[in-house]
Amino acid sequence: MAIRSQSFQRFRKRITAFNVAAALFTVFFVIFFVFPLYWQVATSLKTRENTLRIPPQLIPNPVNLDRYVWVFKNTGFPLNVRNSLITAGLTTITCVLISTLASYALARLKLRGSRAIMMSVLICSMLPAVAIVGPLYLTFRRFHLLNSFTGLIISYTAFFLPFTMWFLTSFFKTIPPGLEEAAAVDGCSPCQTLFRIIIPISMPAIFTVGMMVFIFSWNEFLFAFTFTSIDSVRTYPVGLVMFQGQWEVPWAELCAASTIVVIPIIILVLAAQRFIIRGLTAGAVKE
Amino acid sequence: MFSRTEALNRIKQQGLSQRQLGYILVTPALLLVGFVSVYPFLTTIWYSLHKIRLNLPAEGRPFVGLQNYVTLFQSGRFRHSLLITSLFSSAWVAVEFVFGLCIALVLNRRFRGRALVRASVLVPWAMALVITALLWQWMFNPVFGLLNAILMALKVIKEPINWLGTTAFSAYLSVLVVDVWRNTPFVALILLAGLQGIPGTLYEAARIDGASRVGCFVHITMPQLKHAILVALLFRSIDAFRSFDLLYVLTQGGPGRSTEIASLFAYKTLFQYLDFGKGSAATVIMALVTTALSIVYVTSLSSKD
């Protein structure tokens, strides 16, 4: 009996040591991941003199909103944010619409070669963006799509289609075919079945895909940087890189501008956490 | 009134029109992917076999065969960029895998505040790469940066280090930290999804058989996690090999050309030197690597076990 309780105690102690290590590790990585965001917000709230203090001030004192005012008054940044909203919004709508139709066909209507289509689309999506950006630039120049929202939206939509098609096709395959048979019995055409039955019950998956596409296109840089050269169509990541130009780098102002675009997207991501994680980890677990 | 078999017959009769409808629905997606990925990529291959200098249009676009590839492999700058890209990708993916696995194992346990911790992991992922790069540049700043201040307060270093500016080694290290910060969450979440798919009965059975914690990890967790690990490693390798935004803003290839990865070299050749022949050849070589990796992924998807 005594031996048993002794070993039990040792067992408990080992568990505790393990737990302490795990807790310390957790604290470490949470700080590692979140602190830079704090630092960005803190820098943006400091006065100009306090941003350039050595050693740096850990907590902004006094809190000051002048950097934000400066960004709104002296830069094209608000315009860039508007452009990002337009581009990301319209890309999301187009991409979700086109991929819903295509995925339904690939999952449900007996297409010849649907598997081959899926595989080639997947391989296309793995190409480095830099390997297509050159010819795409020349094509867009020929069709007057440089410096236009249309050009950006076309390239984003096509670039994210492979992901959305894969995600939605595998989701549609999980819907029991009985539902569609029942709909056919009631005289629904395949189109009606899609809009009246498949889409309504797939809203969570469609929402996931929409969120992912919105975030991807909201943050995209390479295409936007290459295809736009005037402020009226530039999206905010390009605008931020252009900030650096003139004198010394305006760090506090950059932090303020970044905060303006980062905080809403982080709130969005955290609010829709469940959907985002499902979108991110699609493909991790084999059906 | 239809009977059920009659209705099914009607579906079968619609077979042809259903297939036609299917092709109509798929066409817009395929046209877009064709226009934005397939066609430009074939053009890139075509360009890579020609001499194309956009700044010298008078020279025309003569066919030069594999000349661009030969020139590339003779240039130390390109060979260095390929080497650096492979080195960075493997180092990044290796560190992110170990770190991500630890995080996934922690998140797979039940504890108070788990949802909050998992949320914190999503923060780096939600930020645009451009912002990530600028923010870390600010923290790495040699004069006003936070990192130097912390390290000097802890007496780890005696005087400020210009992390991104002096030696290639300190730049490698800084770039590694930033990439780990940005991409470990993805690895962790993929592995977490894999862990959550392991049936708990396996562990119960092992515990009854007297397996230790380490034994469980080696004989149950790792084998069951095989698919998730493969996905995480392949996706990260492909993404690391073709990454562009982060280093373009963070180091622009410097100091010197020490962090000039292949995509930066290709982009500069295309859009600064306007040498579309050579630049295209460089991207074709990159695409060969990523395509090879993605074919491994596709085959693993189709394989049974």
CA–CA gap between residue A249 and residue B157 (Å, rounded): 26
Q: Where do the domains of chain A lie?
A: 2-66, 76-280
| In A26-115, beta strands by DSSP E | none
Chain centroid to CA B210: 41
Half-sphere exposure of B293 (CA within 13 A, CB side): 24
**Are A152 and A224 a contacting pair, CB within 8 Å?**
yes
Average pLDDT, integer, range A70-87: 93
**Most distant pair of Cα atoms in chain A: their distance:** 87
Task: Specify the pLDDT at position B207.
Answer: 86
Residue A242 has pLDDT above 90, yes or no: no
With contacts defined as CB-CB under 8 Å, which chain B residues touch A222? 244-245
In the chain, the amino acid numbered B229 is I
Specify the pTM.
Answer: 0.90
- Banded pLDDT at A88 (limits 50, 70, 90): very high
Domain A76-280, CATH homologous superfamily name and number: MetI-like (1.10.3720.10)
Chain centroid to CA A227: 20
Tell me how far CA of residue B142 lies from CA of A52, A256, B166, B169, in angstroms: 12, 21, 10, 16
CA–CA gap between residue B111 and residue B108 (Å, rounded): 9
CA–CA gap between residue B135 and residue A251 (Å, rounded): 9
| Cross-chain residue pair A158–B33, CB shorter than 8 Å | yes
- A161-191 per-position pLDDT tens digit: 999 999 999 999 988 888 888 888 888 887 8
Residue A91 has pLDDT above 50, yes or no: yes
Consecutive 10-residue averages of pLDDT for chain B (305 residues): 56 62 91 94 95 87 91 94 95 96 92 89 93 94 90 88 88 95 95 91 88 87 90 92 93 89 95 94 95 86 66
How far is the alpha carbon of A112 from chain B, nearest alpha carbon, in Å? 8
Which one of B124, B134, B185 has the shortest CB-CB distance to A258? Answer: B134
What fold is seen in the domain B67-302? MetI-like fold (1.10.3720)
Q: Which of B69, B70, B52 is nearest to B61 (CA)?
A: B52
- Banded pLDDT at A10 (limits 50, 70, 90): low
- Banded pLDDT at A4 (limits 50, 70, 90): low
Task: Specify the pLDDT at position B1.
Answer: 47
Tokens of A194: 């899609």
Backbone angles phi, psi at A129, to 5 degrees: -60, -30
Task: Specify the pLDDT at position B4.
Answer: 59
Residue with tokens 């820098």: A43
Task: Specify the pLDDT at position A8.
Answer: 59
Q: Is A222 helix (H, G, I), strand (E, B) or coil?
A: helix
Cβ atoms within 10 Å, residue B91: 17
| Cross-chain residue pair B263–A215, CB shorter than 8 Å | no
Give which of A11, A127, A262 to mutate to test B binding, by max B Cβ within 10 Å. A127
How far is the alpha carbon of B68 from chain A, nearest alpha carbon, in Å? 15
CA–CA gap between residue A217 and residue A196 (Å, rounded): 29
Half-sphere exposure of B127 (CA within 13 A, CB side): 31
Written in H, E and C, the secondary structure of chain B is CCCHHHHHHHHHHCHHHHHHHHHHHHHHHHHHHHHHHHHHHHHHHHHHCECCECCCHHHCCCECCCHHHHHHHHCHHHHHHHHHHHHHHHHHHHHHHHHHHHHHHHHCCCCCCHHHHHHHHHHHHHCCHHHHHHHHHHHHCCCCCHHHHHHHHCCCCCCCCCCCCCCHHHHHHHHHHHHHHHHHHHHHHHHHHHHHCCCHHHHHHHHHCCCCHHHHHHHHHHHHCHHHHHHHHHHHHHHHHCCCHHHHHHCCCCCCCCCCCHHHHHHHHHHCCCEHHHHHHHHHHHHHHHHHHHHHHHHHHHCCC
Task: Specify the pLDDT at position B182.
Answer: 96
Task: Specify the pLDDT at position B10.
Answer: 57
With contacts defined as CB-CB under 8 Å, which chain B residues touch A284? 190-191, 193-194, 227-228, 231-232
Backbone angles phi, psi at B50, to 5 degrees: -125, 160
How far is the alpha carbon of A69 from chain B, nearest alpha carbon, in Å? 20
Burial class (CB in 10 A: 0-12, 13-18, 19+), B28: middle
- The strand pairing partners of B50, in sequence order, are B63
The interface pTM score, or ipTM, of the predicted complex is: 0.89
Task: Specify the pLDDT at position A13.
Answer: 55
Provide the mean pLDDT of chain A.
88
**Cα dihedral sign for A3, A6, A12, A15?**
negative
Residue A260 has pLDDT above 90, yes or no: yes
How far is the alpha carbon of A277 from chain B, nearest alpha carbon, in Å? 7
Q: Can you state the percent helix, strand and coil of chain A, rounding each to 5?
A: 75, 0, 25
| Cross-chain residue pair A36–B10, CB shorter than 8 Å | no
Q: Does A266 touch chain B (CB under 8 A)?
A: yes
**B200: Cβ contacts below 8 Å, ≥ 6 apart:** none
